[in-house]
Amino acid sequence: MTETTDPHPGDPFGDVLSANAAYADSFVDSGRPGVAGSGLAVLTCMDSRISPLEVLGLVPGDAKILRNAGARVTDDVLRTLVLATYLLGVQRVLVLAHTDCGMTKNTDADVHAKVLAQGVDTRSIDFRTISDQEATLVHDVQRIRSWPFLPPRMPVAGGVYDVRTGRIRIVVDADTPAEETPATAPAR
Ligand SMILES: [Zn+2]
């Protein structure tokens, strides 16, 4: 929606609130509960081109969607997966990185420099930028598999979504035993 059609000039959220009003007018409550109906949790990037439910042929109510910069497995992702697994029906996890990801195009030092140029020193933040996307996927999938609070045999896979074709390429198969996973990932 462009500013010229915004009926709420000056309201930074006017466009989306207007869109929501239209959405709610035709909204039909599915009546589904808050558990993941397909048993799936997806961890993907915040990239604005990825629509996780559509990409996977799902609809609201089917899956838990976790997002952050780079689809990285952080402490908060692990915390959320424990809740999703034991309380909200999740039985499998897909870590979904993507092509053309900004996190693969910058080092942490690059990010610090770019933000410092805007007057903010971010050097206390570990941005978890990605130097080797496949090695990072192996590392992050293994981090979930080895997290002691999650079921040890829960299927966890890692893939890369191509933002130009819409296709997912699996990099880490769900049935790859943890002990056979290459130990080449970066140590963070
Ligand atoms: Zn990304």
Q: Structural domains in the chain?
A: 1-30 (no CATH), 32-180 (3.40.1050.10)
pLDDT at 180 over 60: no
Lowest-pLDDT range, 1-5, 37-41, 62-66, 146-150? Answer: 1-5
Instruction: Look at residue 187 and tell me whether its pLDDT is greater than 50.
Output: no
How far apart are the CA of 185 and the centre of ligand 1, in A? Answer: 18
Cα–ligand 1 centroid distance for 22 (angstroms): 30
pLDDT, tens digit, 9 for 90 and up, residues 70-82: 999 999 999 999 9
- Is the pLDDT confidence value at 136 over 90? yes
Tell me, what's the pLDDT at 188? 53
Distance 69 CA to ligand 1 centre (A): 6
Using the mean position of ligand 1's atoms as its centre, give its distance from the Cα of residue 177 in Å. Answer: 27
Greater model confidence, 158 or 3: 158
> What pLDDT shows up at residue 48?
98
Can you say whether the dihedral through the CA atoms of 150, 155, 159, 163 is positive or negative?
negative
Average pLDDT of the segment spanning 20-40 = 97
Q: For residue 108, is pLDDT > 70?
A: yes
Which residues, 6+ apart, have CB-to-CB distance to 139 below 8 Å? 185, 186
- With 0-12 CB in 10 A as exposed, 13-18 as middle and 19+ as buried, what is 105? exposed
Please tell me the distance between residue 101's alpha carbon and the centre of ligand 1 in angstroms: 4
Give the C-alpha separation, 6 to 116, whole Å: 34
pTM attached to this predicted model: 0.89
